[in-house]
Chains A and B, each alone.
Chain A
Amino acid sequence: MNCKQVQDLLPEYVDRQVRQVFLRDIEAHLRGCDECSKLLAVYRDNIRILGAFPEIEPPPDLAAKIFERTARRGLIRAWIERYLSLPRYILLPVAAGLLVAVLAPVLLSNDAASRSATKYAHRAWSFTLKLYGRAEGVGQEMASLKNLVFLILDERVEELQEQVQSYKARKQTNEQRRSQSSYLMCGLDSAGSDTQGADSNVLRQS
C-alpha cells in the first residue's frame, strides 16, 4: 500500500472499521512510514482536542439585542400584514382624501375655492375614518403607522447619516479637484497666450 491509500483509510482505521484484509497492510505501512504515522498521531490528537473545546461565552447583551431586533421586525411585519389584509375600497378614499387635503391649500390661490376644497377634503377624510373605524379601528391603525415610520427611521437614520457624510466628503474632494484643475487650466491658458504673443511678435518682426 502507498501513502495515499493508507491516508485515505485512516478514518476507518481509527474507528476500527477498516476491513480485515487491509488492516495488516496499513499497520505494516505505518511502521515504516514516518509521515503517515505522524499524520495518524495528529488525527487522533485533533479529535481529542476538538472534543474538549471550551464553550465560548456569548456577550451578555446578545440575547436582549436579538429580542429587540426581532420584536421590531415583528411589529413592522404585523402592520404590513394588517395593511395588506384591508379591502381596497377602504384604501382608495384614504389616498384620495390625503391627496386633496395636502394639495388643495397649496395649489389653489383663491381663498373661497381653497376653503371649499379643504371642506370636501375633510369630509372625505371623515368618511374614510368612519370606514376604517368599522373595519379595523382607525386609532390603532394610525398609532401603528406612526410606530412603523419611527422604527424604519430608527433603523435607517445611521445609514443616512453615513451617506450624507460620504456625499459631503465626495463633494468636497470634487470641488478641490475642480479648483485645482481650473487653476492648472488657467496656468496653461496664460502660458498658451504668452506663447501666442511671442509667436505674433516673431511674425511681426519678420
Chain B
Amino acid sequence: MTEGSPNDRELVRRCLRKDEEAWRLLIERYHRRVYNLCYQFFGRAGRAQDMTQEVFLKLYGSLSRFRFDMEFANWIMAVARNLCIDAYRKEKKSMFANLDEAERVPAPAGLSPLAELERKDAYSQVHDALVRVSEDLRMAVILRDIQGCSYDEIAGIAGVPIGTVKSRINRGRLELARVLMGARAEKEQGA
C-alpha cells in the first residue's frame, strides 16, 4: 500500500456503498498474493487463475459480513485457504499426478545459466513434493515458509489455536522432507 492510498477497511466501506473504484483497488492490491497462494497450493497456473477468480467472487458476495475488527488481508487469505482446501478435497484423486514442465516454479532472475538450472531444479523438486503433502499441513507450510505469515496470522486465517498451527507446520515440514527423500531415493534407484 502506497502512502496516501486508502486503507483496506476504508475500501471495504466504500465497496459496501457500491463504489466500483474501491473494489477495483482491492482487487489490484490482493490478486497477486491470492494467485501466489493458489499457485503454491495447487502447483498449476490455470487452476490458480480459476481459484483466484473464485476467491474474489466469494469475497464480493460476502463483503457485507466482513468484521471491521479484523485485518482484511487475513480475511481474504482465510477465504482463499478454505476455498483451496475444499476444492482440493473434491478433486483429490484426479489431480497432481504430473506437473507440466512449463508450469513449474520459475527460478529468480539474475543467476548464471548453470546456477539458474540448479536452482530451478531444486525449486521444482520441492514444489513437486509440496503438492503431495496433505492439504492442511501443506497450507500451513505455505503460509509460514513461503508467504512469511506469523503464527498469529496463520491461527487467524485457519481459525485454529496457535498450538495447532505450530504442530501443523512442524508435521508439514517433516512430511515434506520425507516425501522429498522418498522421491530422491526412487530417482536414484531408477538411474
Contact = CB atoms under 8 A, between A and B. Distances in A.
Interface of A: 7-8, 10-12, 38-39, 42-43, 46-47, 49-59, 62-63, 65-67, 69-71, 73-74, 77-78
A64 to B, nearest CB: 9
Interface in B140-191: 141, 145-146, 148, 169-171, 173-174, 176-178, 180-181
Contact-residue size bin, chain B (C-beta under 8 Å from the other chain): 35 or more
B57 A73 contact: yes
Contact of B123 (A49, A57, A71, A73): A49
Given A11-B173, A39-B177, A58-B49, A46 B107 contact: no
Interface string B51-64: 01100110011000
21 contacts: A11-B173, A39-B177, A39-B181, A42-B181, A46-B145, A46-B177, A46-B180, A47-B145, A47-B173, A50-B145, A51-B148, A53-B123, A54-B106, A54-B107, A59-B49, A66-B52, A67-B27, A69-B56, A70-B27, A71-B20, A74-B60
A42 B180 contact: yes
A10 to B, nearest CB: 6
Nearest to B35: A58
Given A56-B36, A62-B31, A67-B24, A73 B174 contact: no
B3 interface: no
A75 to B, nearest CB: 11
B152 to A, nearest CB: 17
A28 B23 CA distance: 58
Given A65-B53, A66-B52, A73-B61, A53 B40 contact: yes
Contacts of B180: 42, 46
A69 B115 CA distance: 42
Contacts of B130: 50
A56 B106 contact: yes
Contact of A63 (B20, B28, B61, B178): B28
Contact of B57 (A7, A12, A70): A70
- B contacts with A: majority SS: helix
B108 interface: yes
Interface in B29-59: 31-32, 35-36, 39-40, 45, 48-49, 52-53, 56-57
**A-B pairs, 9 with minimum CB distance:** A11-B170, A50-B145, A58-B35, A43-B177, A70-B60, A42-B177, A54-B108, A66-B56, A53-B146
B99 interface: no
A78 B61 CA distance: 11
A95 to B, nearest CB: 29
Given A62-B31, A66-B56, A12 B49 contact: no
A17 B159 CA distance: 25
B122 interface: yes
Nearest to B120: A54
Contacts of A58: 31-32, 35-36, 48-49, 52
Contacts of A47: 145, 173
Contact of B60 (A42, A46, A51, A73): A73
A77 B130 CA distance: 39
A71 B130 CA distance: 35
B105 interface: yes
B53 A46 contact: no
Nearest to A57: B32
A11 B174 contact: yes
A111 B56 CA distance: 57
Contacts of B106: 54, 56
B126 interface: yes
A55 B181 CA distance: 25
